[in-house]
Structure 1
Amino acid sequence: MVPPDPMRPQNPLPVLGALVLAAIACLLAAALAVRVIETSSARTVAQQMMNSGHEWATVQTDGLQVILEGEAPSETARIEALRAAGHVVDSARVINAMQVAEREAIPAPRFSIEILRNDDGVSMMGLVPAAWDMEAAMETIEATTGVGEIVNFIESADYPVPERWDAVMNFGLMAVRELPRSKLSLAADRITVTALADSETQKSRFETDLNRAKPRGMPVTIDITAPRPVITPFTLRFVIDDDGAHFDACSAETPQGHARILAAARAAGVDSPACTLGLGSPSPRWAEAVRAGLEAVNAMGAGSVTFSDTDVSLLAGPQTTRAAFDVVSGDLKAALPSTFTLHAEMPVVVDATPSDAVIEFTAQRSTEGRVQLRGRIADERTETATESYARALFGAGLVYSAMNIDETLPEGWSLRTLAALEALSWLNDGSVTMTADEVRVSGNSGAQTAKAEIARILSDKLGDGAVFDIDVTYVKRLDETLALPTPAECVADLNSVMAANKIIFDSGSAEVSQDSARTLDDLADVLRKCDGAAMEVAGYTDSSGGEEGNLSLSQARADAVVNALIGRRVLDVALTAKGYGEADPVADNGTEEGREANRRIEFRLAGDTARAQTADETGDAPTENAPDSGAETETDEGTTE
């Protein structure tokens, strides 16, 4: 047998077959390995997404690549999902196929301004709409306040101007002009005003002006404080007489003392005591002394106690016995602090004498401001001085003098006369009557502090033990600080309310719809400033239905409006209701628009009978069957309070 020749080529097929089989085996093994890795990676990354709070993400694999899909709520969430996947697989294998959800439109910021004004000038800070003319506002502030350069820390943002922004800013410009020491916080949904006033009178004027100018329907907080007044002399007068227990004047030195005095007054029978918190108390034990004085008068059941600084005058009532008075005055003397001096007097019983024998001086002031001086005066020089003082107080052309000289008058009569005139100056109308034993002041005043000021004058000028009686009524319509509107201005204000919103009634009913509650509130706000006015509320219908039925319906609706206003505590205005039915139409009853215009409530001053007479003469009395009935007022008529 011949051995194979090593140099001779061999058959390659078996070798090639083995190599092919080996390659296929490797590929299968690799494919299986990749599949295992894909499955494992997908499972591991999906679990990581669940654990890290990214349930929204889905996991796909492509070989060794891990593909993250889904809609991320934000860019931050997308990045956090990529990081979480990178913790369990090689981050190079992670493919980002995630989308980010569209962002919601960024809401507009809350626009607001704070304006600070003091003696040093004006500063402004806040955020305003870019479309608002800030430069014009600053020029207005400079022109109306007279300040120099305004410190401006205002930024702007390009967003729409909020509704009512202009109305708020106009109010703010008015307020910063009127209030020299103030802080204004202005926003489209709220206004806050904080300010200082020089006096209670100025505080009242500021509040009145701001309330009249504030935007309707806007929440406005007004906080104006005034410094405590300096009271000289520090005066308190407490009386129990036929009208009950009351203060003619009351002063308190501290909030704690104020509370103690009011508590003592309630215990003595004063229903709603009021006391001025002021400066100038002559003693830190003022409230203690006052409480003892009130308790003394209450123990007698009638009489008065007057404090003028540390001088105390106790006057018994006309029915107080000497024994009872001695006990009360003794207890009061023991209770008063050592710095207080007590003057205690029983009432003087005067024998009846002819009226022409009574020594008297009177000063009367009419509602027109004219003053008459009558009665006894000491001498010509005093007469001239009294007339000159009266002309200085009331006006040279308003004083009429008819005094008689009596050289036998008691000592101090001239000083008492001047005090009487000063007391009269606090009255809008009234009189002061002075005798040798007493001074009586009565009348009306537009100053809330009139009684206290008169008591302070008489206590100071007449001296210890002075007897005086004060019967002064505060009349709101006379108060100049309130700047109350005239009846004609009330008409105009009410017309503006009625022009904006009608009073709605349910169909065929006299019941005011709830939709008109706001209108009634606005009308009541106007009427509360029309103190003492007399108003007629007139009801009208259209010509639909029966004449008698319309007349009744219009009367019932007018009554309902009056009752609704009274229910809103409109108590100082005389309101009368009258129904005119279908009379005096203001539009054509042949059209729906005309009938709706004729279904109305009108307000007018009582006595304004021009239209009422027209209605009575026509004899018309329309009825109203439409679903709505309201209040519509023409520019020349209509008022409500």
Structure 2
Amino acid sequence: MRISHILPIFAAILAGVVLSLAGATIGAKVIETTSTKAVVNELNLQGYDWVDVQGDGLQIVLTGTAPDEQTQLAAQRAAGHVVDPARVMNVMNVVQKQAIAAPRFSIEILRNDSGISLIGLVPAAWDREAFVERLKKASGTGSVADFLEQADYPAPENWPETTDFGLDAMALLPRSKISLATDQITLTALADSKAQQASFERALTKALPETVPVELNISAPRPVITPFTARFLIDESGPHFDACVAETPAGHARILAAAKAAGIDEPNCTIGLGAPSGQWAAAVETGMRALQQLGQGSITFSDGDVTLIAAEGTSEALFDEVVGELQADLPATFTVHSTLLRPEEVADEDSRPEFIVIRSPEGQTQLRGRISDDRSKLATEALAKAAFGTQSLYSAMRVDEGLPSGWSLRAMAAIEALSELNRGSATMSEDTVAIRGETGNPAAKANIARILAEKLGDGEDFTIDVTYVKKLDPILNLPTPEECVARANDIVAASKIVFDPGSVELNVAANDTLDRIAEALKDCEEVEIEIGGHTDSQGRETMNLNLSTQRANSVLDGLLMRRVAGVDFVAKGYGESEPIADNDTEEGREDNRRIEFKLLGETAPEEAAAAQTATGQDATGDEAPAPNDAVAETTGSDATTADSTTEDTTDSAPEADGDTQ
């Protein structure tokens, strides 16, 4: 066949192929555009407007960033509803999720008599086994039930500090629940007494972590009081309680209301266990009203025994009427013993025997007066040694076999009552016991009333003149006068009080120092402190004295403004008269320019001894004992002086200002 015949056929075939390819391309483009628009419309309707839709031939490519995997798949399914799902290509991203936050790690420590339990969630990398071992060692028990769970996250920043405090607290508190977490520590515990409660709180406060808040809830259960005692008096000083207890909060409120109605401004009553009757508060209120009818005297409730003593001069008719009404009004469980005091007859010394116990401020004790026999004397001395110490006892008793029955037992009750005081005396006669003195225990007066009510028996009269002195209270842990002075001097030694040149006004640095001194002295009670101003020897002596006096007064004014209530300050200028270093050197002159604090108001022991020797008597008016056996009655100590230096900027004209302060 000729080639001229073949070429037209080949050209026709080629043209058909080209036209077919062009038609297919156009058709695919139309399908791509139509599908893309349809998918975009559907996704917008479904709220997936964040999806970017692109056509790639017959395929639909989905791009964009989905908020989560679930939304990403939902967008893909929506596109598959419009076109064949096989044509949909999902290349969408998902928002990167934040790292899962670590859980709140915490430990709850439960401790009671049966052992310790641990509950909570702790970091997996933390050495819990070592913690449990430390727990056993600190508590002295091998019984630790470990119910802790672990999570594989890093320990929080304050975790070691938190767990260390938990160990310290648990070792201290035998009955407690301690919740440890780095954002809060909560501690709940029981103490056996108010004193133990205060001791726990003081120890825990010192151990508190600096970066974790701590909530302390330590409570003491109601004390068991035996005998259950209330003692109400009306005397020259007005109505007051020597002892007051209530059986319930409602009874407590009732007794306090009766006390306020009787004229006691701030009555105080303890809620305790051991009341002999559920009508205790009603009985005490009835007794208080009875005594108010008499005007003066005392009424003592000791369990079910009630002792009413009317003062001298009370009308017998009124006394009989009040006693009769009291017996009728009291519940049946209470028994009344009543006494109307008669005027005492004048008697000589031998006809009025006495037994006296004196406890001095130094802790020394004297036993004087009469005792029934040698056996009772030995027993009384043994009891006093047990109560006050073997090294501090001086005995000057004499045996008198003609003493009333029960004398020795009453003498021992007086010793036991006096042991509640820091210092004071117990004076016992045939018809009464008088306890006087000072104590650092706010419950001492009530304790004495209970002791005497129980030991002396029904109908016995006694008086209690006891003063609570805050600085003697061991629970408050108040500083001694010497410690107060040392605190002030330590502060000025570390941060010197500075005056501007030629000025007596305190500058900013000096005020900061006085702030710290005031804070250090806030717990001081009944202390007399001298603020002494000193200069070097440069300048005229008179000018130096005036300058030191003015600066001491400036310090005094600064401390008074800060209301240090327990300290009585006195300012005194010494000028250049008491140097502590060489005034010929600059270093020495700087040491001499100072403010120092000195303890005042204390009597030196040798002065007290000289006064006693001169009079031949002790504080009670009795003849002083022999020197080798004597007990000093007068308290005192050497005045304590601690010097500390103050610093002042150098004055350009020392002659004009007195010194280089």
Q: 1:189 and 1:540, CA in 2 relative to 1: closer, same or farther beyond 3 A?
A: farther
Structure 1 residues 69 and 30: CA distance shift in structure 2, 3 A: closer
- In structure 1, how many angstroms separate the alpha carbons of the residues matched to 2:384 and 2:165? 43
Instruction: Confirm or deny: 8 A CA contact 2:233 2:299 kept in the other structure.
Output: yes
Residues 16 and 578 from structure 1, CA distance in 2 versus in 1: closer, same or farther, beyond 3 angstroms? farther
Partner residue, 1:80: 71
Give distance in 1, aligned partners of 2:167 and 2:290.
54
Aligned pair partner of 1:159 in 150, 154, 161? 154
For residue 257 of structure 1, the aligned residue among 251, 260, 272 is: 251
Q: Which residue of 1 aligns with 2:278?
A: 284
TM-fit CA distance, 1:351: 3.7
Could you say what secondary structure the match of 2:46 adopts? helix
**Relative to 1, partners in 2 of residues 1:501 and 1:46: Cα closer, same or farther, differing over 3 Å?**
farther
Question: Deviations along 1:474-498, whole A, 9 cap, x unmatched?
Answer: 3344344555555676788889999
Q: How does 1:21-100 map onto structure 2 within 5 Å?
A: 31-49=29-47, 57-62=50-55, 65-73=59-67, 77-87=68-78, 89-90=80-81, 92-100=86-94
Do the aligned partners of 1:504 and 1:516 also contact (CA within 8 Å) in 2? no
Question: Aligned partners of 1:215, 1:580: CA distance in 2, in Å?
Answer: 46
Query: What do the CA deviations read for 1:321-378 (whole angstroms, capped 9, x no partner)?
Result: 4455455444433321122122233333224455665332211111222222222333
Find the aligned partners of 1:103 and 1:419 in 2 and give their Cα distance: 80
Match of 2:353 in 1: 359
Shift of 1:471: 1.3
Letter of the aligned partner of 2:34 in structure 1? Answer: V
Determine whether 1:248 maps to 2:239: no
Q: Does structure 2 retain, via aligned residues, the 8 Å contact 1:205–1:482?
A: no
Q: What amino acid is aligned across from residue 39 of structure 2 in structure 1?
A: S
Deviation at 1:65, TM superposition (A): 4.9
1:475 is aligned to 469
Shift of 1:291: 1.6
Contact persistence 1:555–1:580 (CA under 8 A) = no
- The equivalent of 1:435 in structure 2 is 429
Deviations 1:212-249 (Å, cap 9, x if unpaired)?
A: 33345753322233343332221111123333332211
Cα distance change, pair 129–85 in 1 and its aligned pair in 2 (3 A): closer
Quote the Cα distance in structure 2 between the aligned partners of 1:603 and 1:95.
Answer: 90
Relative to structure 1, the CA distance from residue 400 to residue 369 in structure 2 (aligned partners, 3 Å threshold; closer, same or farther) is same
CA distance in 2, matches of 1:151, 1:372: 56
Q: Which residue of 1 aligns with 2:603?
A: none
Q: Find the residue that maps to 1:349 and give its secondary structure.
A: coil
Q: Where in structure 2 are the equivalents of 1:339-350 lying within 5 Å?
A: 339-350=333-344
Match of 1:204 among 198, 202, 224: 198
Q: Indicate how the Cα distance of structure 1 residues 110 and 485 shifts in structure 2: closer, same or farther if over 3 A, else same.
A: farther
In 2, Cα distance between equivalents of 1:352 and 1:268: 35
TM-score for both structures, normalised by structure 1: 0.74
Cα RMSD between the aligned structures?
4.9
CA contact (8 A) 2:531 2:555 kept: no
Distance 1:70 1:146, change over 3 A: same
Q: Equivalent residue for 1:308?
A: 302
> Mind listing any 5+ residue stretches in structure 2 that lack a counterpart?
536-543, 582-592, 601-638, 652-661
Alignment of 1:587-602 (within 5 A): none
Secondary structure of 1:333 counterpart? helix
Deviation at residue 42 of structure 1 after TM alignment: 0.3
Deviations 1:586-605 (A, max 9, x none): 9xxxxxxxxxxxx9999887
- Aligned partner letter, 2:266: S
Query: Relative to 1, partners in 2 of residues 1:355 and 1:131: Cα closer, same or farther, differing over 3 Å?
Result: farther
Contact 2:518–2:559 at 8 Å: present in 1 too? no
1:98 CA displacement: 3.5
Q: Is the 8 A contact 1:194 1:223 kept in 2?
A: yes
Counterparts of 2:125 and 2:534, CA distance in 1: 47
How many pairs are equivalent?
A: 580
What is the distance in 2 between the residues matched to 1:224 and 1:534?
A: 36
Question: Which of 229, 233, 237 is the matching residue for 1:239?
Answer: 233
Identity %: 47
- Could you tell me whether the CA contact under 8 Å between 2:530 and 2:571 is conserved in 1? yes
- Corresponding residue number in structure 2 for 1:403: 397
Q: Is the 8 A contact 2:598 2:640 kept in 1?
A: yes
Check if 1:267 corresponds to 2:265.
Answer: no
The residue aligned with 1:5 is: none
**Contact 2:247–2:274 (8 Å) recurs in 1:** yes
Separation (CA, whole Å) in 2 of partners of 1:553 and 1:85? 88
How many angstroms apart in 1 are the aligned matches of 2:449 and 2:530?
A: 41
Taking structure 2 as the reference length, the TM-score comes to 0.72
Q: Give the secondary structure class of the aligned counterpart of 2:306.
A: strand
Counterparts of 1:350 and 1:78, CA distance in 2 = 104
Write the mapping of 1:439-450 to structure 2, written as runs, cut at 5 A: 439-450=433-444
**Closer, same or farther: CA 471–114 of 1 in aligned 2, 3 Å:** same
Instruction: Answer whether contact 1:536 1:576 (CA < 8 A) is retained.
Output: yes
C-alpha deviation, 1:465, in angstroms: 2.0
Give runs of aligned pairs for residues 380-399 of structure 1, distance below 5 A.
Answer: 380-399=374-393
Q: Distance in 2 between matches of 1:274 and 1:184?
A: 33
How far 1:427 sits from its partner (Å)? 1.6
- Structure 1 counterpart of 2:74, one-letter code: R
Query: What does residue 643 of structure 2 align with?
Result: 611
Structure 2 counterpart of 1:343, which letter?
H
The change in CA–CA distance for 1:59 and 1:455 in structure 2 (over 3 A counts) is same
**Structure 2 CA distance for aligned equivalents of residues 132 and 550 of structure 1:** 62
Q: For 1:289 and 1:413, how far apart are their aligned partners in 2?
A: 32
Question: Larger deviation: 384-393 or 122-131?
Answer: 122-131
Kindly state the Cα deviation for residue 298 of structure 1 after the two structures are TM-superposed: 3.8
**Shift of the alpha carbon at 1:409?**
3.2
Query: 5+ residue gaps in structure 1?
Result: 1-7, 542-546, 587-598, 624-641
Matching residue within 210, 222, 229 for 2:223: 229
- Kindly indicate whether the alpha-carbon contact (under 8 Å) linking 2:366 and 2:394 is maintained by their aligned counterparts in 1: yes
- Shift in Å, 1:147: 1.7
Q: Is the 8 A contact 1:558 1:579 kept in 2?
A: no
* Kept in 2: contact 1:512–1:560 (CA 8 A): no
531-540 vs 35-44, greater mean Cα deviation: 531-540
**More displaced stretch, 443-452 vs 483-492:** 483-492
